[in-house]
Structure 1
Amino acid sequence: MKEITVQELKKKIDNNEVFLLDVREPFEQYQSKIDYSNATLIPVGELAGRLDEIESQKDQEVVCLCRSGSRSAQACQLLEEKGFSDVKNLQGGINQWAKEIDPSLPVY
């Protein structure tokens, strides 16, 4: 599985070059999220049943994120199995983003 650093993701967000898939629970996104991205929220437990919502991204770069990178790794594996061609896991998740990019975000 491919991974992406928070610095690499920041550049892609700034250039509007990436589809960001947040696989946390809604309450987690409410607590801490990357404000200037248009991340699509589909909890990892619901992803298999909701793939039709992101089918249009199948041939685009998709970056999955969660709190620390574990659930997003599961999501990446599922997407790859379902034919998504360019899937990456955000190393360290939203907590790494808070540590290196936006220290104002709560770490949980």
Structure 2
Amino acid sequence: MISIHPAQLQDWLKAAETQTPPGALPVVLDVREPWELQTASVKANGFQLLHMPMRSVPARYLELDRNQPIACLCHHGARSAQVAHFLTNQGFAHIVNIHGGIHAWSHELDPTVPVY
């Protein structure tokens, strides 16, 4: 499984353009709980932001496009790493984990995102 730091997201998005179906955007899949989204959330810029809590992924992963680049995001990177591993095992082709999660996102990309 590939991990990227939030500071590497723009480079990943640029590389993902070649793998993204026409008319679509790469996906940042936020696997945190709803209360976490209310506490801190990222702004979609150059990507589609989807929310699918980790516990719901096994029942909902077929809602995702197997060929679309997906970067998994959680609080610190552990849950998103598990989801990235699961999706890779289900045949998804372009999956990365955002190492450090939204906590690192706040420090590396957008300090307006609250840390919790």
**TM-score interval, smaller chain:** 0.7 to 0.9
- For structure 2, the 5+ residue unaligned runs are 18-25
Partner AA of 2:60 in structure 1: R
Aligned to 2:114: 106
Q: CA deviation at 1:45?
A: 0.7
Partner AA of 2:6 in structure 1: V
Partner AA of 2:7 in structure 1: Q
Q: Equivalents in 1 of 2:34, 2:55: separation in Å?
A: 12
Q: Equivalents in 2 of 1:84, 1:16: separation in Å?
A: 14
Aligned to 1:48: 58
Aligned to 1:9: 9
2:16·2:69 contact (CA, 8 Å) conserved in 1? no
Aligned to 2:81: 73
Pairs aligned (count): 106
Identity of aligned residues (%): 35
Q: Equivalents in 1 of 2:33, 2:10: separation in Å?
A: 22
Structure-2-length-normalised TM-score = 0.82
- For structure 1, the 5+ residue unaligned runs are none
Deviant stretches of 4+, over 6 Å: none
Q: CA-to-partner distance for each residue in 1:14-54, whole Å, 9 max, x for gaps?
A: 89942110000111112111123431100111100001211
SS at match of 2:71: strand
